[in-house]
């Protein structure tokens, strides 16, 4: 049975719900120069909502990890009840973290993607030593934002997802204003300790943000090397 009422901020029920908020914020606001991460859960409360599911009220601190700024935010997460996998419903507002203007950096990166003579690609971000070359970090950040859509969609009260590694990412030719990428990512489900492989097709532009067009879970890979440890 899941705990009801006031929750211990450091225990799994509150932490799992708060992690869902992180995925939600990245899905909505993440970019190559804005990544939002859970820093701390201050308080949590859970209640059963008749015929709807289970609702968590949270007070959390969210960190914008690239600029290293932090804001305390209120959030609500509803895990739907019933048959079939349905993604959690999230409400959260962290306005201060969204005020940092990254427009110039994003426009410069977008121009680089659009004018490169050859399409960009990368493998194993980070590598087995946890290292990512500085010029590859925007691809890593874009992959995290795209993967947040998967992690949000797949999250339940019994899961805790982290991004582990980009196995490979390739820029695709595009005929419109969106830069398109094909990406194979490894997600770490912390409860089961399973590494889950997903194939993503997504686009990005500064005005539109990251849009995931397709997501497909790949068959379990028994012989794959375990990715670097991540938080």
* Band of pLDDT at residue 18, cut at 50, 70 and 90: very high
Tokens encoding 122: 């990368």
pTM: 0.91
* pLDDT value of position 100: 80
* pLDDT value of position 97: 84
Q: What is the average pLDDT score of the chain?
A: 91
CA distance 94 to 153: 21
* Tens-digit pLDDT profile for residues 160-184: 999 999 999 999 998 789 999 999 9
Are 78 and 39 in contact by the 8 Å Cβ rule? The answer is no
CATH number of 5-217: 3.10.450.10
């Amino acid at each position: 049975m899941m705990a009801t009422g006031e929750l211990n901020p450091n225990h799994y029920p509150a932490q799992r719900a708060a992690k869902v908020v992180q995925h939600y914020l990245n899905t909505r606001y993440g970019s190559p120069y804005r990544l939002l991460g859970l820093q701390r859960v201050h308080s949590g409360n859970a209640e059963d909502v008749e015929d709807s599911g289970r609702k968590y009220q949270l007070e959390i601190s969210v960190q914008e990890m690239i600029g290293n700024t932090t804001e305390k935010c209120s959030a609500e997460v509803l895990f739907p009840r019933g048959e079939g996998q349905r993604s959690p419903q999230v409400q959260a507002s962290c306005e201060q973290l969204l005020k940092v203007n990254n427009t110039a950096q994003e426009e410069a990166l977008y121009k680089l993607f659009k004018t490169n003579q050859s399409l960009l690609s990368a493998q194993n971000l980070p590598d087995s030593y946890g290292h990512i070359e500085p010029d590859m970090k925007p691809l890593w950040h874009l992959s995290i934002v795209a993967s947040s859509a998967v992690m949000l969609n797949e999250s339940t009260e019994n899961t805790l997802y982290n991004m582990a590694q980009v196995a490979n990412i390739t820029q695709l030719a595009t005929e419109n204003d969106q830069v398109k990428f094909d990406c194979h990512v490894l997600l770490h489900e912390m409860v089961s300790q399973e590494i889950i492989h997903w194939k993503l097709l997504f686009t990005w532009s500064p005005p539109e943000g990251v849009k995931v067009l397709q997501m497909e879970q790949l068959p379990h890979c028994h012989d794959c090397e375990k990715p670097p440890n991540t938080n």
